[in-house]
């Protein structure tokens, strides 16, 4: 389909934006946009069926609206705006992100893909988004950015899942999205408690438990 | 019936929110646990395999269901006594979360659709996070955060593995599916690279949840900071559920003719788990972290048993029961000890047997059982696994396992003996052994003792059936 390639390219650009930005509010909003764009994919690939319409609205509501609102409320409550001092600086993270994306495209060429997916951007984008999510998880200190990394990882898996929608009945897709929403909700509560106990949500303060 | 035991705990969870009385709310747990256990046993005894598209029970899942249900029942009974002395922390979150946890575990066990199983396993992570945070202090929040993030990311990778498995069908021209029976049927025509990749991600994802080394980093923290009864449920129940998820992957690989590769991967991770656990158990000053590493060790043994195959698989099935019950008993006893001393570190915990005769003896007996001393059940199952290893001519593996088991015995023994023997200092709190807090661990350890001496014929048959499912050749 014509529309999927620009969509997937935008998704990759959003990965870069998130890797390079320090402003948490902007990061949350842009990851929300990524989720909303992904919601369009089932429609673009499978056309207007009940399955893709439900998946579209579910993903749009959960990934594009509810989860970002939860996270925005969380950063308002703990009063933080910026991710300062990431473990690796923003520019090196960006460079790593570019390398990983290039790697994802090269790697996807070697995969034994089904004939209909040979020239599409789906698999490399899914891999690149997952890698970016991992990078975010590893290189940031704030609990909230780690949650964003987890969300991005899930987004990458969602892209891959669009190719396999016949294997994932609505009940399962719905359950997966619900798990994600409740998971982020619980993470938000835990984040709030971290802030109350340690007066910051830097996960560096979580180092008392070790051998 | 199967639907019933998944749904009714959820209904009771909602009811528990509406009940104002503290004790009544606590008692909902053992009542639900008892009902769940009765239904599970009934389902197991009825013995016709249930094969739905969504839900079903085969020999493997029946085994895990009964064990998990029994463990939950025991822990629920303990919970009444425990919550009674923790009125400062309340039970408004604990009771519904435990019930949702039970429901999610049952769904994960009974699911025949792998996507549904995944969803249920993720639900167990979410519903158990508030349980680990029960004590509401800095340490427990750190443990909860690590648990939540590491397990969620791990489970996300398992989802990727599932998608790979589904993608494996695309090349063969058949429609993609994640329904277990359909997958097993068309296993021969699945695209190999995708299936192999999928299995690796499944192993990494559910292995994180099960706590196989090197993916176990959350385990000592979570088990150490969670209340004893939650530790018991995680170490005995949830790990078995995650193991079942991995076994589904092994089934698939065997059906596709690549069982040997899956077994090698399991064997490697099992040996690594055993090795790392043994190292960290030596001079471990914290009794609950000690139990957590012991759990890593026994997950390793389960993986090794299935990895070797044949007789050892049978041993692993038996070990799954023994491990769940013994760990249940140990964690509940450790919970009592922690209550009495307000500490779980060896610097304070001394002379437990003189201060708490029942809990102390249980802890000591549990230690002897879990390290494989006769006449307890784990001796039988570990011996069977070892016999399987040597019968298959894996001499080196057998020697390694024996070496690490000996190391674990010495390491665990020095901590447990130091904690239980000697004289208690006078400063212990007013906590004494009481019936509700001692009956479940006692019953568990007695069952383990019985299993070490005598395995009833129906159980023997059930174990063989479960092991046979994993031995299927294409």
Strand partners, B57: B50
Q: Which long-range contacts (CB under 8 A, 24 or more apart) does A179-184 make?
A: A179/B119, A179/B122, A179/B123, A179/B126, A180/A62, A180/A63, A180/A67, A180/A151, A180/A154, A181/A62, A181/A66, A181/A67, A182/B123, A182/B126, A183/B122, A183/B125, A183/B126, A183/B148, A183/B152, A184/A67, A184/A70, A184/A71, A184/A147, A184/A151
Closest-approach residue (CA) in chain A for B53: A169
Contact assessment for residue B127 and residue B104, using Cβ atoms and an 8 Å cutoff: yes
Find the mean pLDDT for residues B64-84: 96
Find the mean pLDDT for residues B142-157: 94
- Containing domain of residue B220, as a range? 2-470
Predicted local confidence at residue A166, as pLDDT:
83
Is the Cβ of A146 closer than 8 Å to some Cβ of chain B? Answer: yes
Judged by CB atoms closer than 8 Å, whether chains meet at A209 and B224 is answered as yes
pLDDT at B148 over 80: yes
Predicted local confidence at residue B422, as pLDDT:
83
Judged by CB atoms closer than 8 Å, whether chains meet at A194 and B167 is answered as no
Is the Cβ of A160 closer than 8 Å to some Cβ of chain B? Answer: yes
Cα separation, B355 vs A78, whole angstroms: 45
Q: Compute φ and ψ for B113, nearest 5 degrees.
A: -100, 125
**pLDDT-derived band of residue B428, with 50, 70 and 90 as boundaries?**
low
Q: Compute φ and ψ for A16, nearest 5 degrees.
A: -65, -45
Predicted local confidence at residue A200, as pLDDT:
83
pLDDT at B473 over 70: no
Q: Which of B25-29, B244-248, B418-422 has the lowest mean pLDDT?
A: B418-422
Shortest distance, CA A134 to any CA of chain B (angstroms) = 9
pLDDT at A81 over 80: no
Find the mean pLDDT for residues A16-30: 93
Judged by CB atoms closer than 8 Å, whether chains meet at A183 and B193 is answered as no
Give the nearest partner residue to B153 out of A137, A163, A169, using CB atoms. A137
Give the nearest partner residue to A150 out of B133, B149, B163, using CB atoms. B149
Per residue in B262-301, pLDDT (tens digit) is 999 999 999 999 999 999 999 899 999 999 999 999 999 9
Strand partners, B56: B51
Shortest distance, CA B333 to any CA of chain A (angstroms) = 22
Find the mean pLDDT for residues B119-134: 95
Cα separation, B146 vs B352, whole angstroms: 31
Closest-approach residue (CA) in chain B for A160: B163
**pLDDT-derived band of residue B87, with 50, 70 and 90 as boundaries?**
very high
Shortest distance, CA A23 to any CA of chain B (angstroms) = 22
Instruction: Kindly list the domain boundaries of chain A, sorted by start residue.
Output: 4-205
Shortest distance, CA B277 to any CA of chain A (angstroms) = 12
**pLDDT-derived band of residue B472, with 50, 70 and 90 as boundaries?**
low
Per residue in B180-226, pLDDT (tens digit) is 999 999 988 899 999 999 999 999 999 999 999 899 999 999 999 99
Shortest distance, CA A97 to any CA of chain B (angstroms) = 19
Predicted local confidence at residue A87, as pLDDT:
87
Contacts with B163 from chain A: Cβ below 8 Å? 157, 160-161, 164, 167
Give the nearest partner residue to A157 out of B160, B193, B220, using CB atoms. B160
Is the Cβ of A89 closer than 8 Å to some Cβ of chain B? Answer: no
And the tokens for A124? Answer: 């490399």
- The crossing angle, in degrees rounded to 10, of helices B287-308 and B259-281 is 160
And the tokens for B238? Answer: 């949830």
Predicted local confidence at residue A118, as pLDDT:
81
- Per the prediction, chain B carries an average pLDDT of 93
**pLDDT-derived band of residue B169, with 50, 70 and 90 as boundaries?**
confident
pLDDT at B408 over 90: yes
Cα separation, A147 vs A151, whole angstroms: 6
Closest-approach residue (CA) in chain B for A196: B138
**pLDDT-derived band of residue B102, with 50, 70 and 90 as boundaries?**
very high
Cα separation, B272 vs B304, whole angstroms: 10
Judged by CB atoms closer than 8 Å, whether chains meet at B169 and A167 is answered as yes
pLDDT at B179 over 70: yes
Length, in residues, of chain A: 211
Closest of B89, B141, B71 to residue B330, by C-alpha:
B71
And the tokens for A121? Answer: 């951007």
Give the nearest partner residue to B145 out of A111, A167, A194, using CB atoms. A194
Closest-approach residue (CA) in chain B for A199: B138
Shortest distance, CA A10 to any CA of chain B (angstroms) = 22
Judged by CB atoms closer than 8 Å, whether chains meet at A114 and B167 is answered as yes
Is the Cβ of A143 closer than 8 Å to some Cβ of chain B? Answer: yes
pLDDT at B116 over 90: yes
Q: CB within 8 A of B433, min separation 6: which ones?
A: B336, B356, B357, B358, B359
pLDDT at B242 over 80: yes
Judged by CB atoms closer than 8 Å, whether chains meet at A179 and B122 is answered as yes
Find the mean pLDDT for residues B7-21: 95
Candidates B108, B114, B137, B160, partner chain A, best to mutate (most A CBs within 10 A): B160
Contacts with A187 from chain B: Cβ below 8 Å? 148-149
Contacts with A132 from chain B: Cβ below 8 Å? none
Cα separation, A177 vs A59, whole angstroms: 7
Is the Cβ of A57 closer than 8 Å to some Cβ of chain B? Answer: no
Contact assessment for residue B286 and residue B415, using Cβ atoms and an 8 Å cutoff: no
Closest-approach residue (CA) in chain B for A188: B145
Cα separation, B225 vs B287, whole angstroms: 11
Query: Cβ of B424: how many Cβ atoms within 10 Å?
Result: 17
Predicted local confidence at residue B426, as pLDDT:
60
Contacts with A194 from chain B: Cβ below 8 Å? 141, 145
Cα separation, B314 vs B308, whole angstroms: 10
Is the Cβ of A110 closer than 8 Å to some Cβ of chain B? Answer: no
Size of interface A-B (CB pairs under 8 A): 117
Cα separation, B411 vs B414, whole angstroms: 6
Judged by CB atoms closer than 8 Å, whether chains meet at B113 and A182 is answered as no
Three-class DSSP category at B6: helix
pLDDT at A1 over 60: no
pLDDT at B233 over 80: yes
Judged by CB atoms closer than 8 Å, whether chains meet at B148 and A206 is answered as no
Per residue in A160-175, pLDDT (tens digit) is 999 988 888 998 999 9
Predicted local confidence at residue A210, as pLDDT:
80
Predicted local confidence at residue B51, as pLDDT:
80
- In chain B, the number of structural domains is 1
Find the mean pLDDT for residues B316-338: 96
Per residue in A125-181, pLDDT (tens digit) is 999 999 999 999 999 888 999 999 999 999 999 999 999 888 889 989 999 999 999
Three-class DSSP category at B143: helix
Three-class DSSP category at B92: coil
Contacts with B160 from chain A: Cβ below 8 Å? 130, 157, 160
Predicted local confidence at residue B34, as pLDDT:
97
Helices vs strands, H then E, count in chain B: 20, 2
DSSP chain A: -TTHHHHHHHHHHHHHHHHH--BHHHHHHHHHHHHHHHHHHHHHHH-S-HHHHHHHHHHIIIIIIIHHHHHHHHHHHHT--B--S-SS-HHHHHHHHHHHHHHHHHHHHHS---GGGTT-SHHHHHHHHHHHHHHHHHH--BHHHHHHHHHHHHHHHHHHHHTTGGGS-HHHHHHHHHHHHHHHHHHHHHHHHHHHHHSS-BGGG--S---
Predicted local confidence at residue A155, as pLDDT:
96
For residues B234-247, b (16+ Cβ closer than 10 Å) or e, as one string? bbbbbbbbbbbbbb
Contacts with A150 from chain B: Cβ below 8 Å? 149, 152-153, 156
Is the Cβ of A181 closer than 8 Å to some Cβ of chain B? Answer: no
Candidates B141, B169, B296, partner chain A, best to mutate (most A CBs within 10 A): B141
Judged by CB atoms closer than 8 Å, whether chains meet at B133 and A190 is answered as yes
Shortest distance, CA A156 to any CA of chain B (angstroms) = 9
Judged by CB atoms closer than 8 Å, whether chains meet at B159 and A157 is answered as yes
**pLDDT-derived band of residue B471, with 50, 70 and 90 as boundaries?**
confident
């Amino acid at each position: 389909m014509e529309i999927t390639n620009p969509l997937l390219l935008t998704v990759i650009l959003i990965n870069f934006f998130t890797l390079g930005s320090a402003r948490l509010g902007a990061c949350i909003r842009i990851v929300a946009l990524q989720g909303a764009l992904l919601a369009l994919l089932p429609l673009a690939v499978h056309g207007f069926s009940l399955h893709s319409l439900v998946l579209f609205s579910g993903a749009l509501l959960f990934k594009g609206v509810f989860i970002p609102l939860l996270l925005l409320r969380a950063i308002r409550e703990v009063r933080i705006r910026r991710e300062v001092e990431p473990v690796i600086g923003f520019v090196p993270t960006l460079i790593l992100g570019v390398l990983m994306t290039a790697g994802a495209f090269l790697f996807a060429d070697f995969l034994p893909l089904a004939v209909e997916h040979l020239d599409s951007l789906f698999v490399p984008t899914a891999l690149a988004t997952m890698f970016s999510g991992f990078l975010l998880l590893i290189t940031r200190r704030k609990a909230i950015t780690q949650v964003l990394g987890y969300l991005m990882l899930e987004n990458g898996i969602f892209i891959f899942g669009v190719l396999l929608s016949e294997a994932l009945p609505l009940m399962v897709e719905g359950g997966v999205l619900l798990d994600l929403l409740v998971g982020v909700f619980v993470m938000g509560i835990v984040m709030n408690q971290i802030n109350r106990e340690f007066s910051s949500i830097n996960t560096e303060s979580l180092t008392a438990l070790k051998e | 019936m199967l639907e019933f035991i998944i749904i009714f705990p959820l209904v009771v969870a909602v009811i528990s929110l509406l009940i104002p009385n503290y004790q009544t709310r606590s008692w909902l747990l053992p009542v639900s646990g008892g009902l769940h256990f009765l239904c599970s046993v009934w389902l197991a005894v009825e013995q016709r395999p249930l094969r739905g598209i969504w839900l079903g029970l085969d020999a493997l899942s029946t085994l895990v269901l009964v064990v998990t249900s029994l463990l939950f029942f025991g822990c629920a009974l303990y919970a009444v006594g425990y919550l009674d002395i923790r009125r400062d922390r309340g039970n408004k979150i604990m009771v519904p979360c435990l019930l949702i946890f039970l429901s999610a575990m049952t769904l994960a066990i009974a699911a025949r659709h792998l996507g549904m199983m995944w969803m249920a396993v993720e639900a167990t992570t979410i519903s158990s996070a508030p349980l680990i945070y029960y004590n509401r202090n800095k340490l427990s929040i750190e443990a909860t955060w690590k648990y939540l993030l590491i397990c969620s990311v791990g489970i996300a990778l398992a989802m990727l593995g599932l998608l790979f498995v589904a993608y494996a069908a695309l090349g063969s021209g058949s429609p993609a599916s994640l329904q277990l029976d359909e997958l097993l049927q068309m296993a021969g025509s699945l695209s190999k690279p995708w299936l192999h990749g999928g299995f690796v991600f499944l192993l990494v994802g559910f292995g994180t949840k099960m706590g196989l080394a090197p993916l176990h980093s959350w385990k000592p923290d979570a088990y150490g900071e969670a209340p004893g009864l939650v530790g018991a449920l995680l170490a005995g129940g949830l790990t078995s559920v995650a193991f079942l998820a991995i076994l589904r992957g092994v089934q698939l690989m065997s059906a596709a003719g690549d069982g040997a590769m899956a077994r090698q991967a399991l064997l490697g991770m099992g040996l690594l788990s055993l090795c790392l656990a043994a190292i960290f158990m030596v001079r471990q000053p914290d009794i609950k972290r000690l139990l957590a590493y012991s759990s890593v060790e026994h997950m390793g043994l389960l993986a090794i048993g299935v990895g070797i195959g044949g007789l050892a698989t049978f041993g692993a099935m038996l070990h799954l029961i023994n491990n769940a019950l013994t760990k249940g008993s140990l964690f509940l006893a450790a919970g009592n000890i922690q209550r009495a001393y307000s500490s779980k570190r060896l610097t304070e915990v001394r002379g437990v047997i003189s201060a708490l005769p029942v809990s102390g003896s249980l802890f000591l007996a549990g230690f002897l059982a879990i390290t494989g001393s006769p006449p307890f059940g784990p001796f039988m199952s570990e011996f069977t696994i070892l016999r399987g290893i040597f019968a298959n001519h894996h001499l080196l593996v057998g020697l390694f396992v024996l070496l690490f088991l000996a190391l674990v015995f010495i390491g665990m023994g020095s901590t447990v003996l130091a904690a239980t023997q000697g004289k208690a200092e006078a400063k212990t709190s007013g906590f004494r052994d009481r019936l509700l807090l001692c009956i479940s661990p006692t019953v568990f350890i007695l069952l383990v003792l019985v299993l070490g001496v005598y395995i009833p014929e129906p159980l023997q048959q059930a174990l063989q059936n479960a092991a046979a499912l994993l031995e299927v050749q294409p």
